[in-house]
Amino acid sequence: MTETHFTLTTDEDGVALFVWDSPGRSMNVFTEAVMDELEAHIEALVKDEAVRGAIIASGKSTFSGGADLSMLQALLGRYHAMAREDQPAAMAWLFTAGARMSRMWRRLETAGKPFVAAVGGTCMGGAFEMALACHGRIAAEGDYVMGLPEVKIGIFPGAGGTQRVMRMADPQAGLTFLLQGQTVAPKKAVALKLFDKVVPAEGLLAEAKAMIMAGLDPVRPWDKHDFRLPGGKVYSPAGFQFWPAANAIYRRETHDNYPGARAILAACYEGLQLPMDQGLRVEARQFAHVLTTTEAASMVRSLFVSMQALSKGARRPKDIPPMTPRRIGVIGAGFMGSGIAHAAAGAGIEVMLIDADRDSAERGKETAAKLVAERVSKRRMTSEDGETLLSRISASDDYSALADCDLVIEAVFEDRTVKAAVMDKAAKAMKADAIFASNTSTLPITSLGANWASPQAMIGLHFFSPVHKMKLVEVILGEKTGDKALAVALDFVRAIGKTPIVVHDSRGFYANRCVMNYLLEAHLMLTEGVPPAMVENVARMAGMPVGPLALNDEVGVDLAWKILQATKADLGETAIDPRQAKLLEEMVVARGRHGRKNGAGFYDYPAKGPKRLWRGIAEIVGEPRAAEDFDVEELKTRLLATQALEAARCIAEGVVTDVREADVGSILGFGFAPFSGGTISYIDGLGTKAFVDMADTLTERHGPRFAPNTLLKEMAATNELFYERFAPPGAPAA
């Protein structure tokens, strides 16, 4: 029997040890070859009378990341090919093929011999489901997580996860764990009753063996006639209290946009009324259905495959050697600059934090210190590590401190005059081969660097606020930006754990162009009489994580006003909508409502209690009309379509040249309905013809801002998809 991925040894007491250590991989993952080998080992072990039990462990620092999703994509590719000939037969095949792992874990569970999962490091997805199927589960102490995060990428735990979790955990905690795709620390897994114990790493295998030698029962509780569900039967007084409430909470949180989450609820509700084998069959049926949905295909592609490719440097120039900066400068010690400094220092990079005076620079370091203190208080970092991080940040008002920096990032106000002044000072202090980056959110890099001596060494790095939470960075190429600058920028972004998208110069670049359309549509809805609460609610119903008015408050209502004024100055009166201009002028200039920063925007922010919509909005736009006057579906469509149309314009103009970046950037940067897979996948999911028809209807009703561009019209003629026309090499097709 081959031992490519697993090494199997049996000691004198008859305890077998599987050590999983796939060659050539930094982390173990399930592939067809891994499952073939493991399945053969399990069958051989079951037949070996000398073996009394088995331990499954990892030979790597982590246990397993779960299934290789490229295997899932291959499965779906075969299904779609079969479905073109015989859809019912294809679905029957997918049901069987998709349940292979579930059958394996059930075979392990009913083998008649005890298995113990000895987990020492990250344990996700199918590997966690394997552990749940084992008769004992022990975790090593350590700073790592485990869980079932599949719902976050559009699918759900389809290898027994729904059935075992809900037969082991408290029903409310178990369903929350599944629906939120939670990843938890080992001790939390024990508290949930999903793991048995946590032990010191050096004693992990010994504890696992002791569990077997103590007579670990090879029959799971649910395979015994006296088993009782932790929360009682579904059809019981307790069940009647729990399940209707669970359904209501699910709809409140997801607005029924996510087939994977819906399938979890259905599989749990139906499966818990049946014996385990039938419950697993219900789960497998739901899993096969979810795999065929547009949402699952789009989310897996964008949130897993594309995001991994971009994070690993898909857009990095191949002929430039690694150039991660060892020392950087950050000019501007405000909230954004201090966030960049904190992120860089956390990656082991030395930071010179510069501001106009020493006190301002020190305040920026104090802001970074608060972020460190928060992590320490939540036990996500030790005090010693926090002190080490902060020691890498030096605060100063002396630009000569930039002389030894490989990369300098300006993060000052979004004002050309201010930026020009700091750039002039930086240029005099920087070494000749250093790269300069502007953290501008809207101002074109080419124009900002018009007087920069080495335009090939200038690039844009648009971070999103707050830096410590937002995973996206827009890397902006000016007209003359060189490959070295791009390589340094991408290496830096990767070093600090962010996901980059590369965009070409444009006012607002990519993310802010889409976001400004989102805010514009909300502002116009207010002027049409749509109640403010309705604007916010339909946005969340459409899949956006936060309403546009709340988002505007976070980024600053005054910033939106400044951007509007800058646009008018550069492009003329016709470039802005007078209705929006009047609203923002009243908010910012007349009433001083700048957003969360000063406690007054579209919302009020009382010292105590939650924020609430400002009642004075009606004083500016008039009293709202009745909610019944508006079509909820149309409002939802307007908020999504306006962003998708701008994304298509960015593709047509060459601002975004990789459709993966449009999708990943839209989800990470401004939360575009994740279930859709992103702005471009939203169009592809509807079909370009259907999308253009919808845009034409919106144009007739609401004006030319919804007019599809020439590219969309050309593609709609043959219903050509973006992932067909613009698919980068190696990217999965639609």
Q: Where are the domains of the chain?
A: 6-292, 327-506, 512-725
Q: Which of 189-193, 207-211, 378-382, 392-396 has the lowest mean pLDDT?
A: 378-382
Each residue's pLDDT tens digit, 328-368: 999 999 989 999 999 999 999 999 999 999 999 999 999 99
606: Cβ contacts below 8 Å, ≥ 6 apart: 612
Looking at the chain, the whole-number percentage of residues with pLDDT higher than 90 is 88
Pairing of strands 15-20, 53-58: parallel
Nearest in space to 470 (alpha carbons), one of 522, 538, 410, 546: 546
Q: What is the pLDDT of residue 381?
A: 87
Q: Which of 119-128, 229-238, 496-505, 721-730 has the lowest mean pLDDT?
A: 721-730
Q: Which of 71-75, 84-88, 239-243, 349-353 has the lowest mean pLDDT?
A: 71-75
Segment 612-640 shows an average pLDDT of: 96
Could you tell me the pLDDT band of residue 731, with boundaries at 50, 70 and 90?
low
Whether pLDDT at 646 is above 70: yes
Each residue's pLDDT tens digit, 683-705: 999 999 999 999 999 999 999 99
Considering the four listed CATH numbers 3.40.50.300, 3.60.70.12, 3.10.20.740, 3.40.50.720, the one that applies to the domain covering 327-506 is 3.40.50.720
Q: What is the pLDDT of residue 38?
A: 95
Whether pLDDT at 1 is above 70: no
Dihedral angle, C-alpha 78, 84, 89, 92, nearest 10 °: 50
Pairing of strands 15-20, 6-10: antiparallel
Each residue's pLDDT tens digit, 6-33: 999 999 999 999 999 999 999 999 999 9
Using alpha carbons, list the distances in angstroms from residue 500 to 459, 470, 476, 478.
Answer: 13, 11, 10, 16
Strands, E, within 121-232: which ranges? Answer: 123-124, 136-140, 146-147, 183-184, 197-199
Q: What is the pTM of this model?
A: 0.92
Looking at the chain, the whole-number percentage of residues with pLDDT higher than 70 is 99
Q: What is the pLDDT of residue 450?
A: 83
Whether pLDDT at 62 is above 70: yes
362: Cβ contacts below 8 Å, ≥ 6 apart: 395
Other beta carbons within 10 angstroms of residue 120's beta carbon come to 22
Nearest in space to 484 (alpha carbons), one of 443, 435, 411, 517: 435
Contact between 125 and 148 under an 8 Å Cβ cutoff? The reply is yes
Mean predicted lDDT score pLDDT of the chain: 94
CA pair distance 562, 104, nearest whole angstrom: 60
**What CATH topology corresponds to 512-725?**
N-(1-d-carboxylethyl)-l-norvaline Dehydrogenase; domain 2 (1.10.1040)
At residue 465's C-alpha, the angle toward residues 396 and 561, to 5°, is 100
Whether pLDDT at 443 is above 70: yes
CATH code given to domain 6-292: 3.90.226.10
Contact between 185 and 148 under an 8 Å Cβ cutoff? The reply is no
Whether pLDDT at 455 is above 80: yes
Could you tell me the pLDDT band of residue 734, with boundaries at 50, 70 and 90?
very low
Half-sphere exposure of 198 (CA within 13 A, CB side): 17
Segment 234-251 shows an average pLDDT of: 94
Whether pLDDT at 133 is above 80: yes
Nearest in space to 131 (alpha carbons), one of 180, 177, 196: 196
Segment 182-192 shows an average pLDDT of: 96
Please report where in the chains the tokens 């599944």 appear, as a residue: 178
- DSSP label at residue 590: I
